């Protein structure tokens, strides 16, 4: 099964950060968290697919996001946490090589992802709580991030938009 199979079978569409997605679940329960403007679903969940020739550009959410590995090659989640520290988390099933089947991206972190194995893809699931809403989603340009985090120039140049779309 290749990337096109999953995109078609799961009826995925292009995501503004890069890659493809399809919402799979959202809670019926609504909440009004103080950290978010307005009502939110308690949680939302998507399928997310990234091909090796693409990247998921640096972005930020107001909520925690849990990533779950499903199929394909491992995925690297690049994270600049709220303190400005950069780290990589490998999402996959080869535990002996440091991969993890689940990865948490804490709210307020700036993050993106890449598939480091050529000519392949990664299919993952992402659950956001409080639930995802595009008003809580922010994309970043290279200039914005380099002003804040010049020490992370290499990864910012790779994963941030030169200019926002």
pLDDT value for 16: 87
Residue 165 has pLDDT above 80, yes or no: no
pLDDT value for 37: 92
Residue 146 has pLDDT above 90, yes or no: yes
Domains by residue range for the chain, with CATH: 3-159 (2.60.120.10)
**pLDDT for 39-71, tens place per residue?**
999 999 999 999 999 999 999 999 999 999 999
Of the chain, the percentage scoring pLDDT greater than 90 comes to 96
Q: Which residues contact 1 (CB under 8 A, 6 or more apart)?
A: 71
Total Cβ atoms within 10 A of residue 107: 17
Residue 157 has pLDDT above 80, yes or no: yes
Hey, what are 111's tokens?
């993050």
The overall pTM is greater than 0.85: yes
pLDDT value for 164: 85
Residue with tokens 């679940």: 25
**pLDDT for 97-142, tens place per residue?**
999 999 999 999 999 999 999 999 999 999 999 999 999 999 999 9
Helices (DSSP H) in the chain: which residue ranges? 3-9, 142-148, 153-159
pLDDT value for 10: 98
Determine the Cα angle at 153 with ends 152 and 159, to 5°.
90
């Amino acid at each position: 099964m290749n990337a096109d199979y999953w995109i078609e079978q799961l009826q995925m569409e292009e995501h503004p950060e890069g890659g493809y997605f399809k919402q799979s679940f959202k809670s019926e329960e609504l909440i009004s968290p103080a950290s978010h403007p307005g009502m939110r679903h308690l949680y939302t969940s998507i399928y997310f697919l990234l091909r090796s020739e693409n990247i998921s550009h640096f972005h930020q959410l107001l909520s925690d996001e849990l990533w779950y590995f499903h199929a394909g090659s491992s995925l690297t989640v690049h994270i600049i946490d709220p303190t400005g520290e950069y780290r990589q988390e490998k999402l996959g099933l080869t535990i002996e090589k440091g991969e993890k089947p689940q990865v948490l991206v804490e709210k307020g972190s700036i993050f993106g992802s890449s598939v480091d194995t050529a000519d392949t893809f990664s299919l993952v699931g992402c659950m956001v709580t409080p639930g995802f809403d595009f008003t809580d989603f922010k994309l970043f340009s290279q200039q914005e991030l380099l002003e804040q985090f010049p020490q992370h120039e290499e990864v910012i140049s790779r994963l941030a938009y030169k200019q926002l779309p």
